[in-house]
Amino acid sequence: MNQLLVSRRRLIALGAAGLISRPVSAAETTAAAIDWAMLETALALDIRVVAGAELLLYRKFVREPDLPSDIADLGLRGSINFEVLRYTAPSLILSSPWYTRLEPNLSRIAPVLSMRIHERGRDPYQSAEAAVSELGRRFGREAAADTLIAATRDELATTARLLSTARQPPLFVISIGDPRHFRVFGADSMVGAVLKRLGLANAWARQTSYSAQAPIDIVTLAESPEAAIVVVSPVPDDAKRTLPESAIWRNLPAVRAGRVMLVDPVNHFGGLPAARRLGRLLGAALTQGAPSLG
């Protein structure tokens, strides 16, 4: 009876992950990704990714590159489904130091490549390029890696030249936690790295936390009256509802001057694909306009 119960649970788990009809050949060179920055990098290199974590949220917050239709969802990044991971039989598991505690169990399934892209006090862009090169080497995609690195540099440089034709304000780039509290991205975030490569000034020049961002309240956004505010989606429903009615928000210099831009979601802690997407979003917002927030 116990064996039947375990088997039934196993079938349910594998069926929910979309795996029952698609076993993976052990001869394939494949990857599974726990970390989203590594996942997006592998996809950008056209590496066959058979499993990834929190894919519903990836589709909401990361957006690109697109996920393959047959990729298995491993569940939460911090508490993955090891049975599903084992069934997909990856050649290599892509992770980061944020998930070090999982590595003993991960390494029983396949070798683990853990790369740190985001670290307090360091520009993550170079680390993101290093991750591209390493994945290219591991999977025989060296030419694709070189192309991705060069294309991203070229695209950011092109956007920088376009933006340089007009005076651009310093930017607070924020995500919203609730109607009074926000997270602002510093120089050691991927946001800060992209701003630098676009020739844009980051209005937040102070210290950040380990995650390259700093918690701030709404009043802090008034400290640089010449700055514009870029809000990275999604915005919580309560903030959408109450911020436009807030006297403090309405009296921020950037809000009064119409210098608030709402951009589509992008992976705050992403790799090179996220840097490229962010550069494109910022370039479009500053040259073509973007929706506001109140």
> Residues 53-70: pLDDT tens digits?
999 999 999 999 999 999
Q: What is the pLDDT of residues 167-194, one digit of tens each?
A: 999 999 999 988 878 889 988 899 999 9
**Confidence at 137, pLDDT banded by 50, 70, 90:** very high
pLDDT at 125 over 50: yes
The encoded tokens of residue 208 equal 């950040």
Percent of the chain with pLDDT over 70: 87
Residues 119, 123, 125, 126, CA torsion sign: negative
The whole-chain average pLDDT of the chain stands at: 88
The answer to whether the CB of 263 falls within 8 A of the CB of 289 is no
pLDDT at 102 over 90: yes
Contacts of residue 271, defined as CB under 8 A and 6 or more positions apart, other chains included, come to: 37, 38, 40, 41, 117, 128, 131, 132
What integer pLDDT is reported at residue 198 of this predicted model? 98
Rounded to two decimals, the pTM is 0.87
pLDDT average, residue stretch 120-126: 86
Query: How far, in Å, CA of 279 to CA of 151, rounded?
Result: 12
pLDDT average, residue stretch 79-100: 95
What integer pLDDT is reported at residue 25 of this predicted model? 35
**Confidence at 211, pLDDT banded by 50, 70, 90:** low
Weakest mean pLDDT among 13-17, 156-160, 261-265: 13-17
Q: What is the dihedral of CA 142, 130, 78, 42, to 10 degrees?
A: -20
Q: How many CB atoms are located within 10 Å of the residue 258 CB?
A: 10
What integer pLDDT is reported at residue 207 of this predicted model? 63
The answer to whether the CB of 43 falls within 8 A of the CB of 52 is no
The encoded tokens of residue 74 equal 């491993």
pLDDT at 12 over 60: no
